[in-house]
């Protein structure tokens, strides 16, 4: 494979606020450096906070949200609108969730949940509370659904020893306290938020 330097980017992952990265040259061409790169449909930033990915994902669904309004005015009923929401919006919001959702903070979780609240309010404008809309439309809270996706993925990896990620599942440490048996120790807060530690 011949590397296309014009289509290549570099990124440095670090917990430090200020990141200094040396220029990388290949065949005399300098590879452009970015603080955010897209890989297989996920935006990765230098600090692995994924706030840019959350904003970008929500923005990708704007046209579909507008379509819900149009369909509602055209007389499409709530069950069909819910099906449209799951196919055109929820699928985008939850895409590759195990790779980024465990890392996002409270503000980004609320931002995602509020986006779903808005969509369900368009579908059922006369229901007073978000919980009522969730029940009537048979939809889970978005962050709860995301957690479930991550849990299912960890279980899938755990059950298949041949899975490429199986060796990354942390083994519980033996210690004086039961908590040490239930959750392995980790050296950094970032590692503690990773998929296999958070959903261990």
Which pLDDT belongs to residue 180? 47
pLDDT tens column, 24-80: 777 777 777 778 888 889 988 888 889 999 999 999 999 999 999 999 999 999 999
Give the confidence band of 174 by pLDDT, cuts at 50, 70, 90. low
> Other CB atoms closer than 10 Å to residue 115's CB: what's the count?
19
Residue with the two structure tokens 């499409």? 76
Residue 186 resides in a domain: yes
pTM of the shown model:
0.78
- Whether 23 and 33 have beta carbons less than 8 Å apart is answered as yes
Q: Both 18 and 107 in a single domain?
A: no
Q: Both 96 and 153 in a single domain?
A: yes
Residue 10 resides in a domain: yes
Give the separation between CA 20 and CA 70, rounded to whole angstroms: 48
Q: Both 16 and 87 in a single domain?
A: no
Q: Both 28 and 53 in a single domain?
A: no
| Structure tokens that stand for 65 in this block | 């949200």
- Judged against a pLDDT cut of 90, whether residue 182 lies above it is answered with no
Structural domain span for residue 81:
49-198
Give the separation between CA 179 and CA 154, rounded to whole angstroms: 20
How many domains does the chain fold into? Answer: 2
Residue 44 resides in a domain: no
**If you average pLDDT over each of 65-69, 127-131, 176-180, which comes out highest?**
65-69
Q: Both 91 and 165 in a single domain?
A: yes
Q: Both 92 and 177 in a single domain?
A: yes
Residues 6+ apart with CB under 8 A from 121: 127, 130, 133
Residue with the two structure tokens 């440095």? 12
Q: Both 151 and 120 in a single domain?
A: yes
């Amino acid at each position: 494979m011949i590397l296309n330097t014009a289509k290549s980017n570099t990124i440095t992952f670090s917990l430090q606020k200020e990141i200094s990265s040396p220029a990388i040259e290949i065949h005399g061409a300098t590879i452009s450096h970015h603080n955010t790169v897209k890989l297989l449909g996920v935006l990765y930033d230098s600090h692995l906070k994924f706030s840019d990915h959350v904003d970008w994902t929500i923005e990708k669904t704007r046209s579909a949200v507008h379509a819900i309004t149009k369909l509602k005015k055209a007389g499409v009923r709530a069950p069909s609108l819910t099906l449209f929401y799951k196919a055109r919006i929820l699928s985008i919001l939850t895409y590759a969730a195990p790779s980024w959702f465990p890392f996002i903070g409270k503000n980004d979780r609320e931002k995602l949940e509020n986006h779903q609240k808005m969509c369900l309010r368009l579908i059922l404008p006369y229901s007073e509370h978000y919980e009522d809309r969730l029940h009537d439309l048979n939809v889970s809270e978005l962050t709860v659904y995301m957690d479930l996706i991550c849990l299912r993925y960890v279980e899938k990896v755990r059950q298949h020893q041949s899975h490429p990620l199986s060796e990354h599942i942390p083994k519980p440490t033996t210690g004086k306290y039961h908590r040490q048996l239930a959750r392995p120790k980790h050296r950094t807060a970032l590692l503690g938020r990773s998929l296999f530690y958070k959903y261990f």
